[in-house]
Every structure is written in structure tokens, then in C-alpha cells.
């Protein structure tokens, strides 16, 4: 992964907050509380002019600090209303020296005016962040793409609330995280205003822009919508029809849906894989065939709203708490829908994984393998092993308690193990050690 020329940028004891897997992302010395992003975007020229107002609290005394910021140019920066003349911009950081030091514990406000032609951030997992479509925009920020469109503290543990405004040409539909609170048109442009009140990690912040129709697909409960190109509407209606029942199943097994509504976006372009953001998911037109060909992926992305978006890992090494849980949700839906049972899914995937190299550790896979499919499947197998050991009643009580206890918060593997131990009537440390801390593939416990 490219390394910035900037390192630790907070003073008087503050250190870089970079995750070991992404050492150039994240910043020490402060925590962001709220982002207010006011963006004016021209689709035809991919030109963005924006103002970010960032409310933060210092965790150390700061004589200077940094924001993650890539590919765009900051033209003016102020801290608590005073313009900063000491400003340095590197490939991945915006370094700010306020007029006077900020004391530990103080709240402060940073205003950054910036612009340019946004583009993806290069990473060892490919390009991430802002990406132009044939006619529109997709933002897929995981794990380090958020700085491609706004200055931020890009660390998964720094969750904040957001206000996001986008003004674009009126032909286009805009979707950002949270509730659409206002839409206003002036001349040939429309302004879309969104409020994301639940805390959100920066990598989950998104904007989707395209020529979309809106379909409602829920008759009761959580409002659910699909944004889709007109020609894909019939196929999308068929493919997303089971999602209402998925929602009902996951609410029964995991607890109440953690956000106000859920929106699936189907781009007019093909995408390699679907992508989740907080409160929404994004699919390519290649995922929509009218025959249910992506049903397991629809279940996977929906389950991420609990495991990944409401509950977000504090450090990337624990990503199995996102992907293992979402993969297991696929198996739970398979069982509920009358296809293979979770036992059958587990047995099948155990056999497949067993034929692959045993050189990945689920609990700390390393940055290069944090999105390895074996982590997804072995994470799900870990949960199935736990379910077989504890029984359904205890296992699903644990999932509901986990989702409720850490709702809209940050999580880690030790916290999950501790919670499991509080419910379990048998020791579980050895089970987790075998499945998470060793590269060898354990055998599944007998059901």
C-alpha cells in the first residue's frame, strides 16, 4: 500500500492512529464527532467543489494535526474561525497548524474548502473510493477510500454523525447515507440533503449518483427501496422480492434492524462484487438477472447492516466479525428459504476450504488477506462450530445480545469471546483458539 511522506502529526505525546493493516490511514490526537459535507458536483466533467466542516475533540494537546485527504486540493482551512496559514498537503495527508495549540479535551471546528476531480485511492486491494461510472458515480470506501472525496480521520474506530449535501444536475438521483431530509431544485440543478445521525465509520460514508428509478419493495416493517435503471426494473423486482423475508429472519435472529431504512442501488455498470455502506448496498447490473442468481449476495449485504455497519471493528485484523458473520447469514437464509440447511452449507464449505492451502489465520489474517474468501468461509465455520457446541437457543441469544450491546459501536474479537463466555455453559476458549488463532482447519463439532 502506498505510504504517505507524512507520519505522526499530533504533538505533546499524540501519535498516529494508523491501524497496523493500514498504517497511513487514521490520525492521532483527536476524535471526530461530526462531519458536515456540502458538495457541488458536475457529473459531465467530474468536477467537485466542497466545504467540509469537521467537529472534533482533542485527546492530546495539539500544536498541529492531520486529516486523511487524497487527490483533491484544499484551498482554504480554518480552525475555530481563524484561518490557518500553516498548511501542508502530501499525497495522503492534510497537515494543519492552528493559530494556537488546542488543549486536550477541547472541542474544535475545522473548515476545509477544497475541490478538483476526485478519483480512487490506490491500495494493495486495488482502487477504492470515488469512481466514475459510465454515467454517474459510485463511492466504495472500504477500507481506505474515504479520503478520495472528503478530509477525514479514516480509522474504523472513529465513528461520527454526518450531514451530507450534494448538488448535481437535476436529471440524476443522489443517494447518501442516512435520511433524505430535503430536496430542492434551482434552475437545472437539484440539492439533496441527508442526515446520518447514527455513528458511522468514514469508510462506510458514500454517495451514489445515477439515472435511477426508485422502487419500494417492503409492505411492512423496515422501509426498503431499490434504485435501479429503468430497463432493469422487472428483473430487480423479481430478484429483490425475497429481501422482505430476509429482513424478517435477520430481525428475528439478530435483533431489530439498526437503521431507519435500507436501500439497494443497482448501477447501470457491471461491478466485480456487491458493496455495502451504512444503510445501503450497491450491486452491478450483472448481479440482476431476474432469476435469483445473486440471492445469497443480497442476504450477505443486508446482514452487514448489523455486522459491519452497526457493529464495526476497532481494528482491521478482526474483520472476520464482519465477513464471517455475513457469510453465515447466507447459510441461515439458505436454511430459512428451503434450500440447503446451515449444516449442509457448513459441511460443503468445510470440504472446499480443506482442499485449499492452510496458510491463513482467521483472527489475524494480515492486510494482504483480509478480504480472502477463506477468511469469509472459515469465519462462518467458526460460528457454526459455536452453534453446534452451544445449541440454537444459546447461540442466537448470543447474536442478539452482541448486536444489542454494541449497537452503533466498535467491537473486537476479545469482546465477542467474553460475551460468549457469559452465556456458555461449557468452556469456549479452546474452540476460539483452534478456529481463530491457528492456520490448521479444525473439524466441525458433531451436531
150-194: pLDDT as tens digits: 999 999 999 999 999 999 999 999 999 999 999 999 999 999 999
Q: What is the pLDDT of residue 8?
A: 34
Phi/psi for 18 (5° steps) reads -60, 135
The two domains 213-305 and 313-436 share their CATH topology (first three levels equal): yes
Q: What is the pLDDT of residue 15?
A: 46
CATH for 30-208?
2.60.40.1730
* CB atoms closer than 10 angstroms to residue 444: 16
Q: Which CATH class is domain 213-305?
A: mainly alpha
The mean pLDDT value for 311-335 works out to 98
Fold assignment, 313-436: Neutral Protease; domain 2 (1.10.390)
**47 pLDDT above the threshold of 70:** yes
- Give the pLDDT band (50/70/90) at residue 85: confident
Q: What is the pLDDT of residue 18?
A: 75
**90 pLDDT above the threshold of 70:** yes
291-300: pLDDT as tens digits: 999 999 999 9
Cα-to-chain-centroid distance, residue 168 = 24
**439 pLDDT above the threshold of 80:** yes
277-290: pLDDT as tens digits: 999 999 999 999 99
**16 pLDDT above the threshold of 90:** no
**373 pLDDT above the threshold of 90:** yes
**7 pLDDT above the threshold of 70:** no
Nearest of 218, 200, 205 to residue 141 by alpha carbon: 205
pTM, rounded to two decimals: 0.95
Q: Domain map of the chain by residue range? A: 30-208, 213-305, 313-436
Tell me the average pLDDT of the chain: 95
The mean pLDDT value for 101-110 works out to 98
The mean pLDDT value for 133-140 works out to 97
**367 pLDDT above the threshold of 50:** yes
The mean pLDDT value for 381-406 works out to 98
Amino acid at each position: 500500500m502506498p505510504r504517505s511522506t507524512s507520519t505522526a502529526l499530533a504533538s505533546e505525546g499524540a501519535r498516529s492512529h494508523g491501524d497496523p493493516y493500514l498504517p497511513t490511514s487514521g490520525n492521532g490526537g483527536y476524535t471526530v464527532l461530526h462531519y458536515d459535507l456540502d458538495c457541488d458536483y458536475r457529473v459531465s466533467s467530474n468536477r467537485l467543489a466542497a466545504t467540509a466542516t469537521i467537529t472534533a475533540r482533542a485527546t492530546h494537546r495539539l500544536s498541529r494535526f492531520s486529516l486523511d485527504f487524497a487527490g483533491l486540493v484544499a484551498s482554504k482551512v480554518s480552525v475555530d474561525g481563524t484561518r490557518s496559514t500553516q498548511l501542508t498537503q502530501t499525497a495522503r495527508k492534510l497537515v494543519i497548524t492552528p493559530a494556537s495549540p488546542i488543549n486536550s479535551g477541547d472541542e474544535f471546528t475545522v473548515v476545509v474548502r477544497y475541490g478538483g476531480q476526485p478519483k480512487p485511492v490506490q491500495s494493495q486491494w486495488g482502487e477504492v473510493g470515488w469512481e466514475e461510472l459510465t454515467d454517474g458515480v459510485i463511492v466504495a470506501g472500504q477500507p481506505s477510500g474515504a479520503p478520495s472525496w472528503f478530509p477525514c480521520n479514516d480509522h474504523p474506530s472513529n465513528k461520527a454523525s454526518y450531514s451530507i449535501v450534494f448538488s448535481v444536475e437535476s436529471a440524476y438521483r443522489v443517494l447518501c447515507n442516512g435520511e433524505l431530509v430535503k430536496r430542492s431544485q434551482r434552475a437545472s440543478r437539484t440539492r439533496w440533503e441527508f442526515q446520518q445521525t447514527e455513528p458511522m465509520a468514514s469508510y462506510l460514508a458514500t454517495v451514489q449518483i445515477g439515472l435511477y428509478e426508485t422502487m419500494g419493495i417492503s409492505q411492512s416493517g423496515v422501509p426498503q427501496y431499490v434504485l435501479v435503471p429503468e430497463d432493469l426494473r422487472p428483473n430487480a423486482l423479481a430478484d429483490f422480492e425475497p429481501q422482505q423475508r430476509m429482513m424478517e429472519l435477520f430481525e428475528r435472529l439478530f435483533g431489530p434492524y439498526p437503521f431507519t431504512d435500507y436501500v439497494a442501488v443497482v448501477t447501470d455498470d457491471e461491478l466485480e462484487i456487491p458493496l455495502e455502506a451504512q444503510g445501503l448496498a450497491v450491486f452491478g447490473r450483472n448481479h440482476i438477472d431476474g432469476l435469483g442468481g445473486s440471492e445469497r449476495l443480497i442476504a450477505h449485504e443486508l446482514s452487514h447492516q448489523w455486522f459491519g455497519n452497526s457493529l464495526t471493528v476497532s481494528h482491521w485484523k478482526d474483520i472476520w466479525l464482519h465477513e464471517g458473520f455475513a457469510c453465515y447469514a447466507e447459510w441461515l437464509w439458505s436454511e430459512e428459504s428451503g434450500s440447503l440447511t446451515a449444516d449442509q452449507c457448513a459441511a460443503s464449505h468445510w470440504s472446499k476450504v480443506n482442499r485449499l492451502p492452510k496458510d491463513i489465520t482467521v483472527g489475524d489474517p494480515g492486510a494482504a488477506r483480509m478480504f480472502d474468501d477463506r477468511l469469509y468461509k472459515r469465519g462462518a465455520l467458526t460460528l457454526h462450530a459455536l452453534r453446534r457446541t452451544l445449541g440454537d437457543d444459546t447461540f442466537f441469544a448470543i447474536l442478539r445480545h452482541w448486536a444489542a450491546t454494541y449497537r452503533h459501536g466498535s467491537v473486537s474479537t476479545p469482546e465477542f469471546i467474553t460475551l460468549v463466555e457469559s452465556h456458555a455453559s461449557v468452556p469456549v476458549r479452546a474452540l476460539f483458539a483452534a478456529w481463530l488463532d491457528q492456520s490448521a482447519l479444525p473439524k466441525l463439532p458433531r451436531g
